[in-house]
Amino acid sequence: MRGRIIKVGLLGLGTVGGGVYRVLQSNRELIAGRVGARIEISRVLVRDVRKDRGVPLPPGILTTDPEEILNSPEIEIVVEVMGGTGAALDHVRTALARGKSVVTANKDMLAVHGKELFQLAQEKGSDLLFEASVAGGIPIIRVLKQCLAANRIQQVMGILNGTTNYMLTRMTNAGRDFQDVLREAQALGYAEADPTNDVEGYDAARKTAILASIAFNTRISFQDVYVEGISRITTEDITYATELGYVIKLLGIAKDTPEGIEVRTHPALLPQSHPLAAVSDSFNAVFVRGDAVGDTMFYGRGAGDLPTASAVVADIMDAARNIVHRAPGIISCTCFEERPLKPMGQVRSRNYLRLRVIDQPGVLAQIAKVFGDHQVSLAAVTQRDTRGDRAELVLITHEVAEQNLRDALAELGELEVVEEICNVLRVEDDG
Amino acid sequence: MRGRIIKVGLLGLGTVGGGVYRVLQSNRELIAGRVGARIEISRVLVRDVRKDRGVPLPPGILTTDPEEILNSPEIEIVVEVMGGTGAALDHVRTALARGKSVVTANKDMLAVHGKELFQLAQEKGSDLLFEASVAGGIPIIRVLKQCLAANRIQQVMGILNGTTNYMLTRMTNAGRDFQDVLREAQALGYAEADPTNDVEGYDAARKTAILASIAFNTRISFQDVYVEGISRITTEDITYATELGYVIKLLGIAKDTPEGIEVRTHPALLPQSHPLAAVSDSFNAVFVRGDAVGDTMFYGRGAGDLPTASAVVADIMDAARNIVHRAPGIISCTCFEERPLKPMGQVRSRNYLRLRVIDQPGVLAQIAKVFGDHQVSLAAVTQRDTRGDRAELVLITHEVAEQNLRDALAELGELEVVEEICNVLRVEDDG
């Protein structure tokens, strides 16, 4: 069976495409042994065949005509690493419609057009695999779909964006402020010139939607995810969090609760003893709690040409095995339920609050009364950093419904003694 | 396809068997949706049908006759959770010979009879799946065989035994000594009355052999693994390690080197910043370095009825999917290479040494000369804990071949000024 050759067409030869090409070349004997068939890239779609890509390519392999791949009867697997939702989407549709298996790393495309594409794959009995779309080299899709499939998943919590994790790590370890580490991340090429997508949590939220969909077998889209970014985290928050025994991380969180699925992406205080707390720099990690397996965590590089290629090539190998064994589509889309979402106002969590108040007798009593009126009970109160007639109050609440907290904060904002509600962050420490 | 029923025969209803039964019962709808077929346990082999097992069982499901499972044409998957290499082995052989798919958690059986059983499964085109045999609920077998299959694996390093990890954690955090935490572990049911198998590293070594075989596509047996246990670790070693920025862990290590495969299980000093360093109590974790993916880690419960059942049921689900899609054996044994083992004397590592010496001028010079004569160079030397005319020397070597270190230690032992070589531990900190 090792003699059988499975031909692959590659759409795109950028960072990830180049990585895929190199991994398939350098490990080709190992890969053939492990799959039971040779995998051969026979055509690569590019925009300019003359551009030097630093990858040694056999003559004639490059093409600017997608039909040379999509219409080739001998190409059985199409790998889409162009990105975007323009031509990439058209090509993936065509490839699936023609019965080819498709491997993609394109989370933007899946976030918007996933339903249609998975349906098409299922009708045609083809594979549509997308391991690289979440957490790069960490095989979290296969872990959820296959390895932990015996479990009712209770919680998925991930550090899914390397740029912001790098920034928060630098803020914590070097005591630098947000703007400062953002410039550093841009200089290092970790953050883009317009960093909105990373810094405001949109990238992590897209990945959270994909993970939640798989974990809870129900389609959850980007629009369903409550999102907050990290741009309002200050060095003060970092310092207080450290003193209180926490680290601040941007988390993608999905939980199964009796009132529905919670799905949100926001910065949060995590106990220093939590397995995710030690995940630093640009590493990603996903914590999964299942009813049988208990707590698990999966850690690795969330981006980069070779880590992403590791995931794409694993998908190609699965698709090839499935073709050899005539079983494409063996693990297909599993969104067979329609679970309700829990409104954000009902989400319960502990909270960290930092307030600037006028330093005079009776202030704490006024504040405590407002919290009490809204059923917000306080687990810890510390007054710090008194300057002149202003003091900073740092409070940790017990678990409370988001709506009660919001109502309390609105009323607090009206108090004359409260000068500023400096920051409010959720605390994730339910064990 | 959801209507199709796949019947399963369970051999054994002990801790793991009971867990498997309960997980298949409580998550049966989810599992059916995820597999595309219903999974039903139709017969359970036990020794005594009247014993109460605390699991609600339909009448007549229990049997003492293995042929009711092995000879049943409607049972397509046989799950072996009896343990041992007696009847379990006979039954697995028979089930495979009759073309049934087999799921097992039995690492002892695979360590000795793996070759024969995998060959039989391959001939018959059946699945022989064994996720639960290493690291319980952590899906490390599938991760290596499938998720990271695009990589040339460079290194696998695991905390594979929960009992010893619990003991080392207690020694580190509570400052207690080996005998003391062993008694505690026995009282808690973590350690057996005869703790040899855990404490001397044999259990971890068996798992290391399985992981190395899969990672390097070459059959490695328990006998190939160099083993040391943790019984000679003292509170002094723990204290020095902590001061030097390390934790002591019992590690299963397998590395691919130009001179062959290194495979060993022993306690080692790991930098506190290493992803495995934070893995405490009875948790397990496996660190994997691949040439494309870089550093990854997989963390979870290594034992217990439900975590182990999570792995067994995932295997049952894979086997069932493969039966539905007529593709059993799609991922089979991958020991297609014959790689040489690197002799232990050639293994290179840094080392921690603790010596008790006579406290007089010129001692360090004598010791340093012996090391120098054997090409052992020292990275750090500290003299501590001088009592009367005795001093304790703690040394960290640079990387050195094991044989050179052994020769140096033999010669050191001859020196009159060296009263005792208290301990020698490898340091794993190659990045």
CA distance A146 to chain B (A): 7
Question: Are A279 and A223 within one domain?
Answer: yes
Question: Are B293 and B149 within one domain?
Answer: yes
| Closest in B149, B296, B337 to A314, CB measured | B149
Q: Which residues of A are catalytic?
A: 207
Question: Are A169 and A288 within one domain?
Answer: yes
Cβ separation of A142 and B147 shorter than 8 Å? yes
Q: Which residues contact A53 (CB under 8 A, 6 or more apart)?
A: A13, A18
**Domains of chain B: total:** 3
Residue A329 lies in a domain: no
Chain A positions in Cβ-Cβ contact with residue B294 (cut-off 8 Å): 137, 300-301, 304, 306-307
Residue of B nearest to A286 (CA): B298
Place of tokens 């190939």: B224
Cβ separation of B293 and A310 shorter than 8 Å? yes
Mutate to test the interface with B, among A142, A284, A296 (most CBs of B within 10 A): A296
Question: Are A177 and A297 within one domain?
Answer: yes
Question: Are A129 and A18 within one domain?
Answer: yes
CATH of the domain at A218: 3.30.360.10
pLDDT at residue number B334: 87
Question: Are B20 and B35 within one domain?
Answer: yes
pLDDT per residue as tens, chain A (431 positions)? 457 999 999 999 999 999 999 999 999 999 999 999 999 999 999 999 988 888 888 989 999 999 999 999 999 999 999 999 999 999 999 999 999 999 999 999 998 899 999 999 999 999 999 999 999 999 999 999 999 999 999 999 999 999 999 999 999 999 999 999 999 999 999 999 999 999 999 999 999 999 999 999 999 999 999 999 999 999 999 999 999 999 999 999 999 999 999 999 999 999 999 999 999 999 999 999 999 999 999 999 999 999 999 999 999 999 999 999 999 999 988 899 999 999 999 999 999 999 999 998 899 999 999 999 999 999 999 987 677 889 999 999 999 999 999 999 999 999 999 999 999 999 998 75
Distance CA B143, CA B192 (A): 30
- The answer to whether B265 and B220 are in contact (CB under 8 A) is no
Residue A22 lies in a domain: yes
Residue A142 lies in a domain: no
Three-state DSSP class for residue A172: helix
Cβ separation of A31 and B149 shorter than 8 Å? yes
Residue of A nearest to B296 (CA): A300
CATH of the domain at A394: 3.30.70.260
| Closest in B23, B138, B145 to A150, CB measured | B23
Beta bridge partners of B264: B226, B253
| Closest in B152, B321, B331 to A27, CB measured | B152
Residue A331 lies in a domain: no
| Closest in A309, A321, A331 to B321, CB measured | A331
Distance CA A20, CA A40 (A): 11
Beta bridge partners of A418: A357
- The answer to whether A385 and A391 are in contact (CB under 8 A) is yes
Cβ separation of B292 and A313 shorter than 8 Å? yes
Domain that holds residue A161: 152-301
Nearest to B287 by CA among B114, B422, B193, B148: B148
Q: Which residues contact B300 (CB under 8 A, 6 or more apart)?
A: A293, A294, A295, A296, A297, B135, B136, B137, B138, B283, B284, B285, B307
Cβ separation of A146 and B318 shorter than 8 Å? yes
> Is-catalytic flag, B342?
no
- The answer to whether A371 and A408 are in contact (CB under 8 A) is yes
Can you say how many angstroms the Cα of residue A16 is from the centroid of all Cα atoms in its chain? 18
Residue of A nearest to B328 (CA): A325
Residue A14 lies in a domain: yes
Question: Are B311 and B379 within one domain?
Answer: no
Distance CA A399, CA A394 (A): 16
Residue B334 lies in a domain: no
pTM of the model: 0.96
ipTM for the whole predicted complex goes beyond 0.90 = yes
Question: Are B156 and B91 within one domain?
Answer: no
Chain A positions in Cβ-Cβ contact with residue B19 (cut-off 8 Å): 292
The angle, 0 to 180 degrees and rounded to 10, between the axes of the packed helices B107-124 and B202-216 is 30
Q: Out of B7, B107, B207, B249, which one is annotated catalytic?
A: B207
pLDDT per residue as tens, chain B (431 positions)? 457 999 999 999 999 999 999 999 999 999 999 999 999 999 999 999 988 888 888 989 999 999 999 999 999 999 999 999 999 999 999 999 999 999 999 999 998 899 999 999 999 999 999 999 999 999 999 999 999 999 999 999 999 999 999 999 999 999 999 999 999 999 998 999 999 999 999 999 999 999 999 999 999 999 999 999 999 999 999 999 999 999 999 999 999 999 999 999 999 999 999 999 999 999 999 999 999 999 999 999 999 999 999 999 999 999 999 999 999 999 988 899 999 999 999 999 999 999 999 998 899 999 999 999 999 999 999 987 677 889 999 999 999 999 999 999 999 999 999 999 999 999 998 75
Nearest to A293 by CA among B42, B87, B401, B283: B283
Cβ separation of B330 and A322 shorter than 8 Å? yes
Chain B positions in Cβ-Cβ contact with residue A138 (cut-off 8 Å): 296
Mutate to test the interface with B, among A15, A21, A23, A30 (most CBs of B within 10 A): A30
Question: Are B278 and B314 within one domain?
Answer: no
Residue A147 lies in a domain: no
Sign of CA dihedral A161, A167, A172, A178: negative
Question: Are B238 and B154 within one domain?
Answer: yes
Distance CA B274, CA A179 (A): 29
Mutate to test the interface with A, among B15, B147, B276, B306 (most CBs of A within 10 A): B147
Question: Are B218 and B158 within one domain?
Answer: yes
Task: Answer with the one of A293, A324, A355 that is the final residue of a domain.
Answer: A324
Cβ separation of A23 and B292 shorter than 8 Å? yes
Q: Which residues contact A211 (CB under 8 A, 6 or more apart)?
A: A134, A140, A144, A156, A158, A160, A252, A254, A286
Residue B96 lies in a domain: yes
CATH of the domain at A63: 3.40.50.720
Question: Are B45 and B126 within one domain?
Answer: yes
CA distance A165 to chain B (A): 16
CA distance A16 to chain B (A): 12
